[in-house]
Amino acid sequence: MTLILTFLGKGGSGRSICAIATAKKLSAQGQRVLLVTEDAGPGFGLLMGQAVTATPTALANNLSCVQLQFAQLLEQNWEQLKKLEAEYLRDPFFKAVYGQELSLLPGMDQALTLNALREYDASGDYDVIVHDGPGDQASLRMWGMPAGIDWYFRRFKQVFQASQFSKAVMPFVQPLAGAVLSGGKGLSGDLFNQPEVQQSTGLVGQGIAAVKDPMRVRAYLVSSGDAVAIATARYLWGAAQQIEMTVAGVLLNRSDTSHQDFDPLPVHTLPSYAGDWQPLIDVLPDYTANPSAPAPVEIELSTNTVRLFLPSLDKKQIQLTQYGPEVTIEAGDQRRNLILPKALQGRSVTGAKFQSGYLILSFG
């Protein structure tokens, strides 16, 4: 099982330094490590002291590195899409469009990064993947993408199936789709219950489960002593809880800042990097240990309550909405759909309070 580590913090706070030192520490411990950077410029290679390329390249014992090139990733994924289309459609209509013609639209880099990490994870070649990304709100939206896709799918499926439009067109859509699909596969029953759709939703489910599991995906805050860097790290901490990603600790660069800013997280004070990685490596956390950080969500069925840990936020920044069985929580600039256990599904929220960093919801 691969562990994925990522780093959150203000630009210039030392995230890339921490990612490289982490990769070196774990590879020296015998872990098979892949260091993945989204930095397309030359700076990362200069820090590594070696050239990095768009394909995983071994740089040392147990340590490989890859620099994501999004134009290349777009071409690769476009070709995969065309192969799927050719397999299932009699007359594919994307066949005349080539990946080299396409440009990257905003947000595509996040989806391509997430898919690349998924593929490296699924390869089984690595024990740890160290991710060096933007470390900001966009990164958190990337990690929250599986839950967001699942939310959209469930919500629109529910609305579509309940609509009169669905009841009217389905008798015509199914035989038409059967005629278009290659091999006369045809469709029967629920269009949302086809093998291809189930495979996609299965991958989404795996992504959601991985982000929630601190032994699969884990984040660390990186900050300097600058007031803006500290405030940014604290904000990203609260936002990470919204996607149920565990923030396991803080890497504090060049600072004597009070650790109370990040209670109850463990704080690791790092020396300045001056060309020697070992002093940094020596004070990094034990990444193989199960983190002791508070869980993002705690459910107590005996009292019909749900506790959500939202540090650095206050009640004025939190908005709660319930439409039928769906409970939506908006905190800061993050919005999430709260998936409840069966015992609480369909129940109304009867109380909500914010106490000691926790949003506590009571269900009737």
The closest of 294, 318, 265 to 8, measured between CA atoms, is: 265
In the predicted model, what is the mean pLDDT of residues 9-22? 95
For residue 101, pLDDT beyond 70: yes
Q: What is the CATH number of domain 297-363?
A: 2.60.40.790
Which residue spans of the chain are classified as CATH 2.60.40.790?
297-363
In the predicted model, what is the mean pLDDT of residues 140-167? 77
Residue holding tokens 């993947």? 129
For residue 246, pLDDT beyond 60: yes
Strands 217-223, 334-338: pairing is: unpaired
Distance, CA of 131 to CA of 118 (rounded, Å) = 12
Q: How many residues comprise the chain?
A: 364
- What CA–CA distances, in Å, run from 310 to 238, 328, 353? 5, 15, 12
For residue 121, pLDDT beyond 80: yes
Which residue spans of the chain are classified as CATH 3.40.50.300?
3-73+101-149+206-283
Question: What pLDDT was estimated at residue 31?
Answer: 98
Q: Is the dihedral of CA 154, 158, 159, 164 positive or negative?
A: positive
Question: What pLDDT was estimated at residue 127?
Answer: 98
In the predicted model, what is the mean pLDDT of residues 182-199? 51
The amino acid at residue 281 is I
- What CA–CA distances, in Å, run from 191 to 47, 117, 165, 182? 51, 30, 14, 16
> How many CA atoms does the CB half-sphere of 110 hold within 13 Å?
16
CB atoms closer than 10 angstroms to residue 22 = 24
Distance, CA of 125 to CA of 135 (rounded, Å) = 25
Which two three-digit tokens encode residue 361?
Answer: 């919801």
Class of domain 3-73+101-149+206-283: alpha beta
